[in-house]
Chain A
Amino acid sequence: MSEDLEWVRRSQDGDQEAFSELVRKYQKRVYYLAYGMTGNREDALDIAQEAFLKAFRSMKGFQGGGGFYTWIYRITYNQTIDFMRKEWRKKKLEYQDNQDLTEKESPIMAVPSASNPGQDMAQKELNRVIMDAVQSLPEQHRSVILLREIEGLSYDEIAEMLRIRKGTVMSRLHYARQELQKVLMPYIKEGEIREKK
């Protein structure tokens, strides 16, 4: 935390190297949030890049309260929402344009992510099911599930990040998990339940 403060202060003075350290430290989490929200690696890269650039531009206005992590996360989140709204509008237009071309793959369908040679097909298939299930959640629920399951944030941290009440975090999380469980039920092993005490 204190190293963050030092890097933040130096970044505010225009030190690009100090900012680069902040990027190195948080890029993975920023990237995973963007990826989790969009389900697309290329989009996630674009969003994460723009989030960091935006952060650098507005570094002087950053007060330091709540920490750099919360701040960059909020920027990323807003950036993602902006992106998805634009994308949604674009896709809607494309869809209207392509409605007659039945041979063409519907642009609304998710594009499979780039090849992953280390994984076997079954695991890949399962990952796709999971990603699609997460993507199908409303964005408010999706963000909460990502912050909890992937980022491992506490309820209080999620509430602060998304500027919602803790009770709202709990109810959204509850809903999101129920929805995901419905989809993932075929992959849940009942045997493991019986064996445990």
Chain B
Amino acid sequence: MKKNRCSKILEWIGPYADGELSPSRSAMIGEHLKDCLSCRTALERLRQTQELIRQGFAFSTVEEKSDLEALHSRVKHGIRLQEAESKEPWWSGDLGSLLFRWARILVPSAVAAALVAGIFFKVYNPPLSVIKTAGKNECIIDSIEGANSTVLLFKTHDSDMTVIWLSVDIEPYKDASNSWIPYSA
């Protein structure tokens, strides 16, 4: 009879120790514990087990401090990196590199378009927008300036060759590191 009662009590001993029982049930278990050594033993074992677990996890303050400092600075650094990556201009990402690869095809097509435009200019003779002359025999037909890159269309007077210069600011965070990549068609 008593054993039966004890096994019921033992089921609730954990929640009892954790303060998770209703006041009435908690009081009932408290009453039983007063008279029952074996249930009291079980409760004490549980409490010691809990205490051991907490002990086992306690770091020395020195270790804890150094680990948490390391963690804090690692998170800060990581966030700065993350943010820098997400703020990089579109052309430095996947889309950018894709377009860069396509530039090998697109640029010659642009030349063709420029030549067509040349015919258009010839026929309709609109005021040609010559921005500047880069050399004696070269004439810039047009230039397209973006935030980070510039495309210049040249036409040499002596030949039929059109040269396109693509300027890409490779490192947006450093000044004056423009590099010019020539394409010719």
Chain A residues proximal to chain B, CB less than 8 Å = 14, 16, 19-20, 23-24, 27-28, 31-32, 35-36, 41, 44-45, 48-49, 52-53, 56-57, 114, 116-119, 123, 126-127, 129-131, 134, 145, 148-150, 154-155, 170, 173-174, 177, 180-181, 184, 187-190, 192-193, 196
Contact = CB atoms under 8 A, between A and B. Distances in A.
Contacts of A49: 71, 74-75, 78
Interface centre among B41, B57, B63 (most CB of A within 10 A): B57
Interface in B1-37: 11, 14-15, 18, 20
Interface stretch (B48-56, B109-117, B130-138): B48-56
B62 interface: yes
23 contacts: A14-B83, A19-B79, A20-B72, A20-B76, A27-B68, A32-B57, A53-B79, A56-B82, A57-B82, A116-B59, A126-B55, A126-B56, A134-B56, A145-B53, A149-B54, A150-B54, A170-B20, A180-B49, A180-B53, A181-B49, A193-B40, A193-B41, A193-B45
B74 to A, nearest CB: 5
B181 to A, nearest CB: 34
Interface centre among B40, B52, B55, B74 (most CB of A within 10 A): B52
B53 A149 contact: yes
Contacts of A127: 55-56, 58
A43 to B, nearest CB: 12
Interface of B: 11, 14-15, 18, 20, 40-41, 44-46, 48-50, 52-60, 62-64, 67-68, 70-72, 74-76, 78-80, 82-83
B57 to A, nearest CB: 5
Contacts of B64: 28
B60 A154 contact: no
B82 A188 contact: no
6 interchain residue pairs of minimum CB distance: A130-B56, A193-B44, A52-B75, A118-B60, A149-B53, A53-B78
A47 to B, nearest CB: 10
Contacts of A45: 67, 70-71, 74
Given A45-B67, A173-B14, A174-B14, A23 B75 contact: yes
A188 B83 contact: no
B55 A130 contact: yes
A82 B15 CA distance: 31
A192 B74 contact: no
A36 B138 CA distance: 72
Given A23-B72, A131-B57, 9 more contacts: A20-B72, A23-B71, A41-B63, A44-B67, A56-B79, A116-B60, A134-B53, A155-B20, A187-B52
A53 B75 contact: yes
A148 B46 CA distance: 13
Nearest to A188: B48
